[in-house]
Amino acid sequence: MDSYRLWVQAHPLLSAALQFALLGTLGEVVAASLRGRRPTLPCTLPQLLAKVAAWAVLGLVIKAGFVGMKGFTRGLLDHHLLPAFLGSGLGWAFALSALTNGFFGPQMMLFHRFEDNLILRRRGFDGMAPALWTLLWFWVPAHTLTFSLPADYQVGLAALWSLALGIILGLRPRT
């Protein structure tokens, strides 16, 4: 784990991009395979390669978002706009998660859908309501755990959560 931590410290943007490129894309492939009940790709191979790049960009956006939302949350606490018990420990992790997923999450999801639409040559934002609900039932609890870890592990765990959500969504019944 020490070599991982040192790599993340030495290359914060590259590590964020690579972790999301790998794990976010893997989540899509696993979800498509679970839905199809056989190994399959969610799109054509050229589109999948474009999705790898899109996930890498998303990793950069998420890294910047995590840093920015920490400052935002700290600013609210410093100005007494949040209760003091949210300033440390599990309270801090929950406050940061709730604010990140409430303010940053929807825009990030819309950006991700925009990337997907460009790659897949689609229009519209169908299916965004269930995606936004994941902010509440999945991402707030997941990122509460994420933000309770040291900063060097947070983006990596967020990328792992993307894979986990792909598995969960792949297993759910289609409506």
Domain of 140, in residue numbers: 16-30+42-171
Give the pLDDT confidence score for residue 145 in this predicted structure. Answer: 98
Q: To the nearest whole number, what is the mean pLDDT of the chain?
A: 96
Give the pLDDT confidence score for residue 51 in this predicted structure. Answer: 98
| pLDDT cut 90: percent of the chain above it | 94
Give the pLDDT confidence score for residue 147 in this predicted structure. Answer: 98
Q: What is the mean pLDDT of residues 108-121?
A: 96
- Do residues 61 and 13 make contact, with C-beta atoms less than 8 angstroms apart? no
> Which residues lie below 8 Å from residue 56, measured CB to CB, with a gap of 6+?
17, 18, 20, 21
Residue 8 lies in a domain: no
Single pTM value for the model = 0.94
Residue 35 lies in a domain: no
Beta-strand runs (E) in the chain:
none
Give the pLDDT confidence score for residue 173 in this predicted structure. Answer: 80
Q: Residues 16, 18, 19, 23: what is their CA dihedral angle, to the nearest 10 degrees?
A: 140
- Structural domain tally of the chain? 1
pLDDT digits (tens, 9 = 90+) for 49-79: 999 999 999 999 999 999 999 999 999 999 9
CA-CA distance, 86 to 32, in Å (whole number)?
39
Residue 9 lies in a domain: no
Residue 131 lies in a domain: yes
Length of the chain: 175
Residue 56 lies in a domain: yes
Q: What angle do CA 130, 136, 139 make, to 5 degrees?
A: 95
- Label residue 170 by pLDDT band (50, 70, 90): confident
Give the pLDDT confidence score for residue 48 in this predicted structure. Answer: 98
Give the pLDDT confidence score for residue 13 in this predicted structure. Answer: 98
Give the pLDDT confidence score for residue 175 in this predicted structure. Answer: 61
User: Which residue shows structure tokens 């995590």?
Assistant: 66
Q: Report the candidate in 51, 173, 32 with the shortest Cα–Cα distance to residue 119.
A: 51
Residue 1 lies in a domain: no
CA-CA distance, 165 to 168, in Å (whole number)?
5
pLDDT digits (tens, 9 = 90+) for 20-33: 999 999 999 999 99
Residue 51 lies in a domain: yes
